[in-house]
Structure 1
């Protein structure tokens, strides 16, 4: 690869294959604000308006997508999560990028360099050192503070992912300030029912302190969670989120969740079914609480996490050793949602699958519980994690189009820990417009630019704004 080779493929019509695709994107989608209703951005860094020391700190730290690619190429951990200098880590990433061809990292990397830094060169070993210094000088400036970066991408709302025991002090501090975007918390209580995981009882102590409840038994656990939901609601939370292998469902009263709680508290080992039943019972009660508050619940289903136990012991979770699981989803998902619906306590819901073989299962499942009370009440969520790339997004869009109403879809999110990840919304919008544009070109849709443009705008922005109630954001 020659030095400073231009990113000519990333022109204004990137991914747009005909005139209708271009019209839909440029005239209808490109300028819309972003509602990023699920991400893992650190709220303290937004509240403090952090400025990062260099591009490695903001771009490579915590990005397990990039880490996986570097490991695959044979780069030692020292240059990934180890003690190498930030310059050395960036240089190793620069060596990796040319080998990421046809991986979404190749597109994302060059979009992020272009959209944030104005760099329209292919990153590689010949220019890595120079671009590190060039980008780091920009990064370590007020124009690249966390808030300014979000404003630059026209972000209107970000919903972070927050544990029930969190104080929400950073959301509270930020809410008193006048900014061009809003930051809201989202309730992620998975640890509260992970009774089979190490550290569960230490976590309940933390939850007890935050809620002011001595969690001595099962009813106390539910009381603590209810108090935290009340607290989150007062702090503008309107969404919950769960990352699970699958949903669970059991016939009523098959086990006694209070007895299971006590058994575990006494240090006695639980049977796998007992642990699963406990998760089901707590989650069911949580879903009742969400419905009372009018929240939206999100279920991210199908990840097989922490596969490499040797490296997990060294680096901990969320470091790039998770993959797609092949869990059976349909029956328990149906039964769980049906149990909530039977008592009219099924709130607005977004379902995300990680295994692409579940696309049709999830796309048809949402139709079972859309009851006409809310537009798109049950959503088949966007391509997630390993599926938030071109093929994955196209497959999700096509499946939803064929088996539901794509016009009611609430669109894309970043699901990211990176402040430089927001061009993924642009990526999604270009892919969406190209799919509609190709159908218009091929005579599969009317060449009605205004009507189809409106549908595109709804998917990219207005559906999410209305679905989550962000009217006054």
Structure 2
């Protein structure tokens, strides 16, 4: 097997055949962090660092691990200097999926076969800069070349979705939908909550002086997203999802106390979040949306990084300390059969619990191997767990979860090859016939996400 050849990641002829059946299917990406302004404006990128490194905290983390100074990662150094610094340490990324994604990007998007390293950095910089100046490498052209059919961005409820409105007429060949993400509305214990309430007040009709007005204003943004084609809600639950019955009076008292700037007890924070999670679920159920729960991220764990660079700089981690079963119990029972629910867990030790919970509720699906788990090992391990405990046919499929547009194709390729490998082993072990396996991989790779999100 050669470097990223036709059999890349595929362990058998059966896996090769299964991948051939799904390789060219359109990409349906229900969760990503795309910069939609970049897509709508459709301006050319300037250089390969802007494409591969400028927004990718996966790349940043690994460069830091190999001793690259921050100046050459997120600092004042020029893009060429940052690219050279990446190339110098890039061979040491071997085994991490970031290595695969960057090499896949270079090969699939630019036709560059050689590995990235200090010796090839200059040639790759020059060739990619030449190609990036052409219309074929503008953002919209790249999306079409990657066969992206649908992408759903992640958007704050206070967004007016101006670029989504422009995308309807200015982006050809790709369906772009917003996703309503009310995380800041739930984080009543943080300064971001107060900012959110003020921003909500500025863009909605109901006054947010009292809790009823706040809920009405939140519902107004929900309706606004419905009108703009939204089909899903993203909720980051943090390390512990909190679902239990809480009265509107209790939640309203906590709201009033928070608005006064008073400190809240842990019980008050939990009760407020539990009430609002149920309220959001009610809005989603009425709208026919899919609710996506992202469980287990410990944000801003590395304090010095957050102090210097702020959020989304590569300082988040996962934890095993999550009570998934008790934490989701009330919410899942409350919306049993009423709406589709997709659960993403950040720590892989939670897959066994998530798979049995999903098995118990027909409207609950296991989300794709997320964040630290979207490697060939992580994807295949999760798919095999879901297949053996729940149903692989009910797996939610793949999402890019990416801020880097050119990597959408690479991430979906890695998933589809891993899917073909996992199902191919079932065929080779005599567990199912090939025609059944082919239908299954086609379903999970394409039909299932369209069905699950009503696309």
| TM-score, scaled relative to structure 2 | 0.96
Are residues 1:352 and 2:347 paired? no
Which string of whole-angstrom CA distances, capped at 9 and with x for unpartnered residues, describes residues 135-168 of structure 1?
A: 1221233211111111111000000000000011
**Match in the other structure for 1:462:** 447
Question: d(CA) in 2 for partners of 1:179 and 1:461?
Answer: 21
Question: d(CA) in 2 for partners of 1:91 and 1:71?
Answer: 14
The range that moved more, 32-41 or 301-310, is 301-310
Question: d(CA) in 1 for partners of 2:276 and 2:187?
Answer: 10
Say whether the 8 Å CA contact 1:55–1:135 is kept in structure 2.
yes
**Match in the other structure for 2:438:** 453
Alpha-carbon distance, 1:336 to partner: 2.1
**Match in the other structure for 2:366:** 380
Say whether the 8 Å CA contact 1:238–1:295 is kept in structure 2.
yes
Question: d(CA) in 2 for partners of 1:50 and 1:209?
Answer: 31
Which string of whole-angstrom CA distances, capped at 9 and with x for unpartnered residues, describes residues 224-246 of structure 1?
A: 11101111000000110011223
- SS at 2:225's partner residue? helix
Are residues 1:230 and 2:223 paired? yes
Q: Mapping of 1:80-119 within 5 angstroms? A: 80-119=73-112
Q: Mapping of 1:117-128 within 5 angstroms? A: 117-128=110-121
List runs of 5+ in structure 1 lacking aligned partners. Answer: 1-6, 371-376
Are residues 1:64 and 2:77 paired? no
- SS at 2:284's partner residue? helix
Alpha-carbon distance, 1:297 to partner: 0.5
Question: d(CA) in 1 for partners of 2:444 and 2:335?
Answer: 27
**Match in the other structure for 2:331:** 336
Q: Mapping of 1:389-468 within 5 angstroms? A: 389-422=375-408, 423-446=410-433, 448=434, 450-468=435-453
Which string of whole-angstrom CA distances, capped at 9 and with x for unpartnered residues, describes residues 145-203 of structure 1?
A: 11111111100000000000001111111112461110000000111121111132222
**Match in the other structure for 2:27:** 34
**Match in the other structure for 1:310:** 304
**CA RMSD for the aligned pairs?**
1.5
**Match in the other structure for 1:3:** none
**Match in the other structure for 1:249:** 243
Question: d(CA) in 2 for partners of 1:129 and 1:17?
Answer: 34
Alpha-carbon distance, 1:251 to partner: 4.6
The range that moved more, 379-388 or 429-438, is 429-438
Alpha-carbon distance, 1:46 to partner: 1.4
Alpha-carbon distance, 1:112 to partner: 0.9
**Match in the other structure for 1:156:** 149
| TM-score, scaled relative to structure 1 | 0.93
User: What number of residue pairs does the alignment pair up?
Assistant: 452
Which string of whole-angstrom CA distances, capped at 9 and with x for unpartnered residues, describes residues 223-282 of structure 1?
A: 011101111000000110011223102354497111111111111100122112111111
Alpha-carbon distance, 1:309 to partner: 1.6
Say whether the 8 Å CA contact 2:50–2:79 is kept in structure 1.
yes
Question: d(CA) in 1 for partners of 2:350 and 2:436?
Answer: 31
- SS at 1:176's partner residue? helix
Alpha-carbon distance, 1:101 to partner: 1.1
Alpha-carbon distance, 1:208 to partner: 1.3
Question: d(CA) in 2 for partners of 1:301 and 1:186?
Answer: 17
Going from structure 1 to structure 2, the CA distance change for 1:336 and 1:469 (only over 3 Å counts) comes to closer
Alpha-carbon distance, 1:124 to partner: 0.2
Say whether the 8 Å CA contact 1:38–1:161 is kept in structure 2.
yes
Which of 288, 309, 312 is the equivalent residue of 1:294?
288
List runs of 5+ in structure 2 lacking aligned partners. Answer: none
**Match in the other structure for 1:264:** 258
